[in-house]
Amino acid sequence: MLQATVQRSRGSEFAPLLRRVKEEGLLDRRPGWYAREIAVNLAALAAIAAGVLALGGSWWVLLLAVPAAVFSARTAFIGHDAGHSQIGSERRLHRAVGLFHGNLLVGMSSGWWNDKHNRHHANPNHVDKDPDVGVGALVWTQQQAAGREGFARWLTRNQARLFFPMLLLEGIALKIYGWQYLKELPPAERRVERRLLAAHLAGYAALLLIAMSPVQALVFALVHHALFGLHLGMSFAPNHKGMDMPYDGDGRDWGHLRRQVLTSRNVRGGAVTDWLLGGLNYQIEHHLFPSMPRPQLRRAQPLVRAHCRTLGLPYTETGIIDSYRQALAHMHEVGEPLRRSS
């Protein structure tokens, strides 16, 4: 009887907050805001492409790899928001926006991203269910680390210091994962995604090869993708690494509120932080209300923080540098037993 009462109490923890958020209109769609965001982003991408064509005969063109990486990440953020149905009320609109920004402009499969990211949102930081903390190049628990052998074992011992250098490969890896995922899609969706990914690859290569020599084009592409992966990785890394990690059979009672709040970390900052991190610095609010439009997250934060305070629930928020420090400290701790045994 006591356990049932606790479960009902935990289940009702989120309801008052949801009701207040709805009353404030914070879940209302913001199509006008997104239309402006998309227009500005497309204008910036067009200006960068024009700059590449104008400067392509000079090595100064490499300077444009920096804004190219920044606005590629901005494009990915719009695709991310479309995957969460934040923009409008129609599913077809979100699919079209996601395919256009993800597959065509960035060259990353929106189908792959949505599948992976939705599983992450359902069970954030869950050792057995969240694909973002599964065993890969990096590992996130000492139990995962214990099974590493050979080069992977060396990598785990040093993963904290190698983390940021490894992010330089993430931009290319994201595209490879998308191509590999295509076989999982239904035939009709697979054809659409494959054609758009191929169009991105052909268009990107044509732009660079028209503007510059093959060697310059290769260097530009490598720098662009390295900075793009670094930017995306630095936007996502502070959000969960080093936070609570549930696992099957841990005996804890996780309602929606606790599952999202206790596994997420916010990053403090102003308008510049919001812009650079694509609103992902409001990670707690985003996880509690994944369909909430990005510009509403800042307005929701005081409500969420106050509600957590009322429940005595930790609400984790830190600066950008400290968020990376905590994430790296967690990765360093995971590799500690391997360093002791080496």
Indicate if the pLDDT at residue 3 is higher than 90.
Answer: no
For 148-161, write each residue's pLDDT tens digit: 999 999 999 999 99
Instruction: Give how far Cα 78 sits from Cα of 7, 126, 280, Å.
Output: 37, 26, 12
User: Of 18, 30, 10, whose CA–CA distance to 293 is shortest?
Assistant: 30
The reply to whether 109 falls in a domain is: yes
- Parent domain of 197: 19-341
Confidence of residue 297 (pLDDT cuts 50, 70, 90): very high
The reply to whether 9 falls in a domain is: no
Separation CA 342–CA 340 (nearest Å): 6
Inter-residue contact 254 to 245 (CB < 8 Å): no
The reply to whether 4 falls in a domain is: no
User: What pLDDT is attached to residue 6?
Assistant: 39
Element (H, E) at 294: none
- Which string of b and e fits 40-65 if b means at least 16 CB within 10 Å? ebbebbeebbebbeebbeeeebeebb
Residue scoring higher pLDDT (252 or 217):
217
Separation CA 43–CA 112 (nearest Å): 27
Residue in this structure with the two tokens 């869950």, named with its chain if needed: 126
Inter-residue contact 12 to 6 (CB < 8 Å): no
The total domain count for the chain is 1
Separation CA 240–CA 234 (nearest Å): 12
Residue 263 CB coordination number (10 Å): 24
The reply to whether 302 falls in a domain is: yes
Confidence of residue 147 (pLDDT cuts 50, 70, 90): confident
The reply to whether 281 falls in a domain is: yes
The reply to whether 6 falls in a domain is: no
Residues 301-310, mean pLDDT to the nearest whole number: 97
For 200-214, write each residue's pLDDT tens digit: 999 999 999 999 999
Confidence of residue 2 (pLDDT cuts 50, 70, 90): very low
Separation CA 171–CA 76 (nearest Å): 11
User: What pLDDT is attached to residue 4?
Assistant: 36
User: What pLDDT is attached to residue 342?
Assistant: 64
Residues 269-283, mean pLDDT to the nearest whole number: 94
Separation CA 139–CA 136 (nearest Å): 6
Residue in this structure with the two tokens 């830190």, named with its chain if needed: 318
The reply to whether 11 falls in a domain is: no
Residues 229-235, mean pLDDT to the nearest whole number: 95
The reply to whether 99 falls in a domain is: yes
Q: Residue 227 corresponds to which tokens in the numbers above?
A: 């900075």
For residue 268, report the phi and psi dihedrals to the nearest 5 degrees.
-70, 155
For 23-67, write each residue's pLDDT tens digit: 999 999 999 999 999 999 999 999 999 999 999 889 999 999 999
